[in-house]
């Protein structure tokens, strides 16, 4: 039987028009937020960076037709402009540094957390990084940020080191977390299994595109 379930959220490239909405989330999500200017610079000039935004899906997409988040990732600016009509619920990005993809940011709007958007964004960055040849993904995370650490652990990141007093706002330590080789068969399988589980969860729950506060 055909499955007409839909993906409740979709991922697009971040565009300059998204920056205001990104900043609204950024200020709530981070104690040391980036500026709008920093995002503007990243989008215009950093060729080694990729940024993604998540929005509630407005068009029906059959899960069977959309096995990977990046299939929903449209590169055209026209498409990205159209997408600004719907609210932005999360974003993520990475820098490609030699053969390492370094996650520079990831956040879900406070009212939309716990619905798999963080996972979808992480999947998009993993797919994006793999596509452009990264060998591994790495990141720094606050030692106290157990929610984010749990998300990363779920996706195979392990702690490989720490940076003492890394965060200038409160002197907190950072944990350095890294994936196995992105292209290893075992890791690809792990990621695809996690993605399948996320989609299955969405299928079971039906379409959830209203925020937790509504």
Say how far apart CA 142 and CA 149 lie, in whole Å.
Answer: 9
C-alpha to C-alpha distances, 34 to 8, 26, 28, 52, nearest whole angstrom = 28, 7, 11, 16
Figure out which of the listed residues 80, 96, 117, 124 binds ligand COA, where binding follows CB under 6 A.
Answer: 117
User: Applying CB under 6 A, which of residues 74, 154, 188, 203 lies at the interface with ligand COA?
Assistant: 154
User: Given the rule CB under 6 A, which of 14-22, 35-43, 78-86, 107-115 is the region that contacts ligand COA?
Assistant: 107-115
Measured from the CB atom, the residue of 14 and 107 that comes closer to ligand COA is 107
The one catalytic residue among 140, 167, 172, 208: 140
User: Is 187 in contact with 181 (CB distance < 8 Å)?
Assistant: yes
Q: Which residue has the tokens 């960055």?
A: 125
| 7 scored as a contact of ligand COA (CB under 6 A) | no
Catalytic residue, chosen from 39, 152, 155, 187, is 152
DSSP symbols for 115-128:
SSHHHHHHHHHHHH
Catalytic residue numbers?
Answer: 140, 152
- Interface residues with ligand COA (CB under 6 A)? 29, 106-108, 113-119, 141, 145, 147-148, 150-151, 154
């Amino acid at each position: 039987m055909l499955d007409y379930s839909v993906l409740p959220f979709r991922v697009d490239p971040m565009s300059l028009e998204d920056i205001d909405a990104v900043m609204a989330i950024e200020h709530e999500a981070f104690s040391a937020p980036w500026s709008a200017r920093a995002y503007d610079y990243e989008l215009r000039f950093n060729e080694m960076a990729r940024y993604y935004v998540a929005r509630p899906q407005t068009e029906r997409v059959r899960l069977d037709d959309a096995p990977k988040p990046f299939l929903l990732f449209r590169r055209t600016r026209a498409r990205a402009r159209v997408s600004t009509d719907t609210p932005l619920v999360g974003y993520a990005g990475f820098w490609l540094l030699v053969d390492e993809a370094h996650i520079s940011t990831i956040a879900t709007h406070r009212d939309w957390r716990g619905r798999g958007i963080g996972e979808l964004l992480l999947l998009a960055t993993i797919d994006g990084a793999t596509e452009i040849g990264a060998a591994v993904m790495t990141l720094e995370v606050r030692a106290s940020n157990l929610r984010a650490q749990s998300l990363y652990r779920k996706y195979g990141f392990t702690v490989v080191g720490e940076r003492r007093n890394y965060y200038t706002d409160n002197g907190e330590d950072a944990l350095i977390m890294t994936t196995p080789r992105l292209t290893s068969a075992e890791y690809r399988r792990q990621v695809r299994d996690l993605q399948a589980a996320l989609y299955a969860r969405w299928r079971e729950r039906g379409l959830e595109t209203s925020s937790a506060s509504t």
